[in-house]
Amino acid sequence: MAEEKIRVAAVSYLNTKPLLFGLRDASVADQLVLSMDYPAKIGQQLIADEVDLALIPVALIPQLPEHYIVSDYCIGADGPVASVCLFSDVPMEEIENVYLDYQSRSSVTLVRLLLRKYWKVRPVLLQASAGYEQKINGTTAGVVIGDRALQLRSRHRYIYDLAEAWINFAGLPFVFAAWVSNKKLPASFIGDFNKATGLGTTGEALEKVIAENPCDFFDLHDYYTKHISFTLDADKKKGLEKFLQYLRQPLERS
C-alpha cells in the first residue's frame, strides 16, 4: 500500500547515478517513494523525519537521534575524488578567504578540519549562496562539490582534492555520503534495497549508467572507476569512524 512505502531521498548529482540505477527495478521500486535534492537538504529532511532513508552527508550522522547504515554502498574515495575540491587561483599559503559550499555538510566539515590540522592555515571562512563560484578569484578560494566541481576543473590554477588530502592526513579512505535511515526498517526491504543500490556500480549496468548520462565536461567512465569508490568496505568504515571521532571534538570556530 502507498502509505506503507519507505520514503527515500537521494542526491541528483552524477556521482549518485550508479547507486540509483537499481532502484528502478520493480522488486524494490514498488516499496519506496523517491525524492531528489542536494545533500545538505536531504540530510535535514532525514533529521526532521520527513523521509525514512536518505543518502546523506556523513557529517550529519551525529545529529540523528538514532541512525542505521542500511547499504554496503556509498559515495567514497580511495584516492582523488575529483568532484569535491578546494579551488583557488593562489597557493594554499596565500589563500585569505574560503567560500563554503551551501549544498554540502561533509565536505565543509572536512575542509575545516584539513585547513587547521593538515594544511595548517587559517583563512576566513565564508558562508556561500547560489552563484558563489563566480567569486572564486584572487586570494578568495572556494569549496565546490558535485557536478559543478567537475566543470570548474579547467578554470582555476590550484585544485586541492579533499579526499586526497584526507587520505594523506588520516591514512584511510573517505566516505562522503552513506545510505542512512533514522529508524529501523523491515529486514526484507533492507535486503532488497542493499542489492539494488549495488547493481549499477559495475559491469554492463555501469556502462548503461554512463550512456544514460551524457557528459561533455568529464569522462564518466574514469569518474566512476578511478575516482568514486562505491563499496562501503572495512577500510572505508574505519575512515568514517575516524572522521566521526573528529566531529566529536569540535574545531575552534573561525
Q: What digits encode the pLDDT tens for the residues 54-108?
A: 999 999 999 999 999 999 999 999 999 999 999 999 999 999 999 999 888 899 9
Residue 1 has pLDDT above 90, yes or no: no
Q: What is the pLDDT of residue 183?
A: 97
Residue-averaged pLDDT of the chain: 94
Distance CA 156, CA 167 (A): 23
* List of domains in the chain: 2-77+173-247 (3.40.190.10), 84-170 (3.40.190.10)
Q: What is the pLDDT of residue 3?
A: 55
Q: Residues 132-145: what's their mean pLDDT?
A: 97
- CA nearest to 86, candidates 164, 162, 137: 162
pTM for this one? 0.93
* CB of 212 closer than 8 Å to CB of 95: no
Amino acid at 142: G
Query: 141 pairs with which residues across the strands?
Result: 98
Q: Where residue 40 falls among pLDDT bands split at 50, 70, 90?
A: confident
pLDDT in tens, 10-24: 988 999 999 999 999
More confident residue, 251 or 97: 97
Q: Residues 196-202: what's their mean pLDDT?
A: 97
For cell 590550484, name the residue.
158
Report which DSSP code applies to 137. B
Distance CA 20, CA 86 (A): 27
- CA nearest to 239, candidates 75, 12, 6, 91: 75
Q: Which residues contact 64 (CB under 8 A, 6 or more apart)?
A: 46, 47, 180, 182
Burial of residue 80 (CB within 10 Å: 0-12, 13-18, 19+) is middle
DSSP string computed for 18-67: HHHHGGGSHHHHTTEEEEEE-HHHHHHHHHTTS-SEEEEEGGGGGGSSS-
Share of the chain above pLDDT 90, in %: 90
Q: What is the pLDDT of residue 250?
A: 63
Q: What is the pLDDT of residue 164?
A: 98
Residue 2 has pLDDT above 80, yes or no: no
